[in-house]
Chains A and B, each alone.
Chain A
Amino acid sequence: SMHPASRVVASRCLRKTLNSRLSSLASYDLFNPTPEHAQLRSMIRNFCDQEVLPQAIEYNRKEVFNVDLFRKLGDLGVLGITVAEEYGGAGMDATAAVIVLEELNASDPSVSIAYLAHAMLFCNNLNQNGSHELKQKYLPGASAGSLICGMCMSEPGAGTDVLGMSTSATPSEDGSYFTINGTKMWITNGSLDGTDTGDAFFVYAKTGKGRAPGDLSAFVVEKGMPGFSLGQKITGKLGNRASNTAELVFDNVKVPATNLIGKVGGASLCMMRNLEIERIGAGAMAMGTARSSLDIMTKYAAERKQFGKPIGEYGQMQKYISESYSQYMAGRSYLYNVARQLDLSTYGNGLDADGVKLFCAPIAKNIADRAIQVLGGNGYTAEYMVEQYWRDSKLGEIGGGTLEAHHKNMWRDLMKRRNIL
């Protein structure tokens, strides 16, 4: 038993430790967990203010992909943000990826979605699942920006029904190559200049006859492989007009067996490992436009006067803005809390990845919609950006998993749990 004096000292020490622990918890910044995360955000935001935002309206109007700007992201060292340093990447975590996606999207969603397809759907997936040789072959170029890449999963006849895809990969007699046949659709970075394919793609194809996860394999297919061509650049999209979306055609494309990612039938592991960062990535993008729309409508309501006073003094404007703010903060907090705990090398929290996207995507759309309403006629024109954010944010409810797909997945995941929390 303790001497009374020691007991007093011990309890004082305990209280001091507890107080300092509580105060450090209070000063923990969920959105910028380390000074390096804060510096990354500040650097990307400056870059966006100087170089991304000024070109957003023009490129959106021209429906052309700003390749030079995209390559500058390589110079900044963020294209391989989660790729191991050994292969030219930054070796950073999910939160860092979310920061870049959020900041880019707050300026120009077309740049951000090209970044998602390249950095997450290709680079991150290959970094986690590819052989050392495959990684050495593609990741240094992809991290530097000399290769601009994407991922091929959806097809004209298979979207949410992933295992319903028909693109096939048949092994050769001697097993030295696979022959890929099929068509892929909605491929971001599918073309860079509108005349030819992008540089390299993470392609999912059927190596088995059935609809089981084990029937799916993944390959890297390179630009220039005979039979691999651009079907068409998709024009007239509602949003993300300055991001090239393409149909890609595989006509007896011979792909070396060394370009197989993982094992034959191992693609579902690739998918599982990457799905979580993709979905919260989409959530990050949603929060980017949400912030911009909110910022624009709040400032406008404070300055625009009608009937002699700022329109922000009217209750309806206050309702739009305050509801948008709290939804934005709720979504952002959910997003960063999930990002914080996301281990890129494994899977296991699909429920919250789906949950983040399910919550954040409609929020972004709704906030942009309210912003247009607050800006009135000015909201209806390109100059104030909110009409672009409204059109661009709609994709969040469809691409990378439809809302309905999230419902399906989350029900399945909730059924696996004994308790909600």
Chain B
Amino acid sequence: MRVLVGVKRAVDYAVKVRVLPDKTGVDLANVKMSMNPFCEIAVEEAIRLKEKKVAKEVVAISIGPKACVETLRTALAMGADKGIHVTTDVRTDQGISPLAVSNIIAHFAKNEEADLVIVGKQAIDGDNAQTGPMVAGLLGWSQGTFACGMEVDGQKLILDRETDSGTEKLSLKLPSVVTADLRLNEPRYATLPNIMKAKKKPINTVDAASLGIDMELKNTVVSVEDPPVRKAGVIVESVDELVNKLKNEAGVI
């Protein structure tokens, strides 16, 4: 089985982001960037499949500027076999649409003869959560999103999927697209020997523009603003007053 894993270079989860003064987006200057946490979980799951001898090769793909090579090297150091860097200079948090990303990933899923595509359920900058399902749609493959457990059984993928009402068990016919949720696994640290081994693993560089995929943004960001400052609470005198406010002012009952 061959596995393609998407890894996105996004703002580090611990960073307290600030909005740009012109409200066109979040200020990314000098901000710490890391592999999207859900992408780490996706890589970890792919490596575990390799260790179980279910997967033969794990290919990591990243879309973005030159610095994405670092993200790919992290995936290689975790155990991926090779990397694909699709280069573009647009802001990857909001300058490229999930549809374009999905088309790129679908293109390479076919190119790399992948049987399984694993991506994070969403990226913590865009929070779109669209790429996984769209890739499945474009390829005509089965999909399992919000995966919290995964087993390969011959040509079937048995997936545990998190929903609001509990965990559901799905049986997917390969090839499939899976999106990784938080509880799927705990990603490993890249050990020093593996960091050194990753130096020799190949990364192919491809210009996004050369793929013949429509990169035009159909949805543009109008403005990005801070959440409203939390207003002070109000002290009420009686239960009747409380019910009245909840009904007529807050509109929640």
Query: Contact residues of A with B, CB < 8 Å?
Result: 35-36, 38-40, 42-43, 46-47, 49, 75-78, 81, 90, 92, 96
Task: Let me know if B192 and A90 touch, CB within 8 A.
Answer: yes
Give Cα distance in the complex from A75 to B73, angstroms: 20
Q: Least Cβ distance of A91 to chain B in Å?
A: 8
Give Cα distance in the complex from A77 to B198, angstroms: 14
CB-CB under 8 A from B14, the residues of chain A are: 49
Task: Let me know if A40 and B189 touch, CB within 8 A.
Answer: no
0/1 per residue, B135-161, Cβ < 8 Å to A? 000000000000000000000000000
Tally of contacts, chain A with chain B, CB under 8 A: 43
CB-CB under 8 A from B34, the residues of chain A are: 42
Task: Let me know if B77 and A77 touch, CB within 8 A.
Answer: no
Give Cα distance in the complex from A209 to B113, angstroms: 74
0/1 per residue, B70-112, Cβ < 8 Å to A? 1001100100000000000000000000000000000000000
Task: Let me know if A40 and B70 touch, CB within 8 A.
Answer: no
CB-CB under 8 A from A78, the residues of chain B are: 192
Any A CB within 8 A of the CB of B54: no
Task: Let me know if B73 and A40 touch, CB within 8 A.
Answer: no
Q: Least Cβ distance of A111 to chain B in Å?
A: 15
Task: Let me know if B190 and A36 touch, CB within 8 A.
Answer: no
Q: Least Cβ distance of A49 to chain B in Å?
A: 8
CB-CB under 8 A from A75, the residues of chain B are: 191
Task: Let me know if A81 and B70 touch, CB within 8 A.
Answer: no
Any A CB within 8 A of the CB of B195: yes
Beta-carbon nearest neighbor of A47 in chain B: B189
Beta-carbon nearest neighbor of B186 in chain A: A50
CB-CB under 8 A from B77, the residues of chain A are: 39, 43
Give Cα distance in the complex from A49 to B196, angstroms: 23
Task: Let me know if A36 and B195 touch, CB within 8 A.
Answer: yes
Any A CB within 8 A of the CB of B166: no
A-B contact pairs, 9 of them (CB 8 A): A35-B73, A36-B195, A40-B195, A43-B189, A76-B191, A77-B193, A90-B192, A90-B196, A92-B192
Q: Least Cβ distance of A86 to chain B in Å?
A: 13
Q: Least Cβ distance of B71 to chain A in Å?
A: 11
Give Cα distance in the complex from A380 to B199, angstroms: 46
Q: Which of A42, A47, A49, A81 has the most CB of B within 10 A?
A: A42
Beta-carbon nearest neighbor of B196 in chain A: A36
Q: Least Cβ distance of A168 to chain B in Å?
A: 39
0/1 per residue, B195-211, Cβ < 8 Å to A? 11011000000000000
Number of B residues near A (Cβ < 8 Å) is: 16
Task: Let me know if A77 and B199 touch, CB within 8 A.
Answer: no
Give Cα distance in the complex from A78 to B20, angstroms: 40
Beta-carbon nearest neighbor of A74 in chain B: B191
CB-CB under 8 A from B74, the residues of chain A are: 39, 42
Give Cα distance in the complex from A90 to B192, angstroms: 7
Q: From the candidates A35, A38, A77, name the one contacting B192 in the complex (CB within 8 A).
A: A77
CB-CB under 8 A from A46, the residues of chain B are: 189
Task: Let me know if A81 and B191 touch, CB within 8 A.
Answer: no
Beta-carbon nearest neighbor of B192 in chain A: A77
Q: Least Cβ distance of A299 to chain B in Å?
A: 10
The 3 closest A-B pairs by CB, nearest first: A77-B192, A77-B191, A77-B193
Give Cα distance in the complex from A81 to B193, angstroms: 10
CB-CB under 8 A from A96, the residues of chain B are: 192
CB-CB under 8 A from A47, the residues of chain B are: 189
Task: Let me know if A39 and B191 touch, CB within 8 A.
Answer: no
Give Cα distance in the complex from A81 to B34, angstroms: 25
CB-CB under 8 A from B70, the residues of chain A are: 35, 38-39
With A36-B196, A43-B195 in contact, do A76 and B73 touch (Cβ < 8 Å)? no
Excluding A43-B192, A49-B14, 13 further A-B contacts by CB distance (< 8 Å) are: A35-B199, A38-B70, A39-B190, A42-B34, A42-B74, A43-B77, A43-B189, A43-B191, A46-B189, A76-B189, A76-B192, A77-B191, A78-B192
CB-CB under 8 A from B196, the residues of chain A are: 36, 90, 92
Give Cα distance in the complex from A221 to B39, angstroms: 47
Q: Least Cβ distance of A48 to chain B in Å?
A: 11
Give Cα distance in the complex from A110 to B195, angstroms: 26
Give Cα distance in the complex from A19 to B130, angstroms: 45
Q: Least Cβ distance of B19 to chain A in Å?
A: 18
Task: Let me know if A39 and B189 touch, CB within 8 A.
Answer: no
Q: Least Cβ distance of A120 to chain B in Å?
A: 16
Give Cα distance in the complex from A277 to B191, angstroms: 23
Q: Least Cβ distance of B201 to chain A in Å?
A: 12
Give Cα distance in the complex from A35 to B71, angstroms: 11
Beta-carbon nearest neighbor of A81 in chain B: B192
CB-CB under 8 A from A35, the residues of chain B are: 70, 73, 199
Q: Least Cβ distance of B213 to chain A in Å?
A: 29
Task: Let me know if A36 and B191 touch, CB within 8 A.
Answer: no
Beta-carbon nearest neighbor of A38 in chain B: B70
Q: Least Cβ distance of A102 to chain B in Å?
A: 15
CB-CB under 8 A from B199, the residues of chain A are: 35-36
CB-CB under 8 A from B73, the residues of chain A are: 35, 39
Q: Least Cβ distance of A51 to chain B in Å?
A: 9
Q: Least Cβ distance of A206 to chain B in Å?
A: 38
